[in-house]
Structure 1
Amino acid sequence: MYTMEKTEFLEQNIFQNLKNLNDGFDSDSIQYFSEADFETVLERIEQFGIGIYEMKPWLDEDFLDIKVNEDYRKKATDPKWYKKAFSDFKKQQADLKYSASYKVSDRLLNRKSASEKAAESEALRTNEE
């Protein structure tokens, strides 16, 4: 059975149609998003039950601060902590670029993506006709 990689899962299900603002100021593997796009990221990860270990906003080529789930005495998958952290950052400073480290469960990675399932069922229907 094929197991999807965490980065692949995030690309296909969470970061889809969002603009990565990392233009080389940090590691290539870390994606940064505008405030509006990061809000979309948070909505999507909550739907999937994905957690966030830490959230890092970036301001003018520098890290502003880091918030981690332990600061809020919450599990990484508890949306209360990351929504509160995001809200705190937004109040502190407008127009930040946001990144996070994500906790994606093996159960999610082992599940086929919705698009793969749709393609398979379409192929089955076509074969049955």
Structure 2
Amino acid sequence: MEQTEFLEKKIFTDLKNMNDGFDDEAIHYFSESDFETVLKQVEHFGIGIYTIKSHLNGKFNADSTHDDHNKKATDPKWYKKAFKTLKTSQTELLYAATYKVSKKLLER
């Protein structure tokens, strides 16, 4: 299984991709509540998140990376903190992330 397929089947199931063409079609954007679900699933599977970015009305708003927090991509502390900071800075944001699914998970 490839990473994109894994994310679609295991992480993004039943969530609405809000990317209506304002960014690359391969990038999934989610509402605040759906992105919370994504983060819970990511933590459950031990998937790494390199970057979280936010958009407002189809325009880039802000981003945060695991390097900004001096944490490993798989450490949920950094992405939970980053998400909390982003969502309290502005309402009605959409969120996307860059992920790293381990080979071990993909081979299951």
The number of residues matched between the two structures is 108
Q: Distance in 2 between matches of 1:10 and 1:59?
A: 24
Within-5 A mapping of 1:2-81: 4-81=1-78
- In the TM superposition, residue 90 of structure 1 has moved relative to its aligned partner by 0.9
- In the TM superposition, residue 32 of structure 1 has moved relative to its aligned partner by 0.3
- Give runs of ≥4 in structure 1 deviating > 6 Å: none
Q: Which has the larger radius of gyration?
A: 1
Structure of higher RCO (CA pairs closer than 8 Å, 6+ residues apart)? 2
Partner of 1:108: 105
Please state which structure has a larger fraction of its residues in helix.
Answer: 1
- In the TM superposition, residue 80 of structure 1 has moved relative to its aligned partner by 0.1
TM-score by length of 2: 0.98
Structure 2: state its 5+ residue gaps. none
Q: SS of the counterpart of 2:62? A: coil
String of CA shifts for 1:38-75, please: whole Å, max 9, x gaps. 00000000000001000000011211111000000000
String of CA shifts for 1:9-52, please: whole Å, max 9, x gaps. 00000000000000011101000000000000000000000010
Q: Distance in 2 between matches of 1:18 and 1:61?
A: 19
Q: Distance in 2 between matches of 1:12 and 1:61?
A: 26
Please state which structure has a larger fraction of its residues in strand.
Answer: 2
Partner of 1:117: none
- CA-based RMSD of the aligned residues comes to 0.5
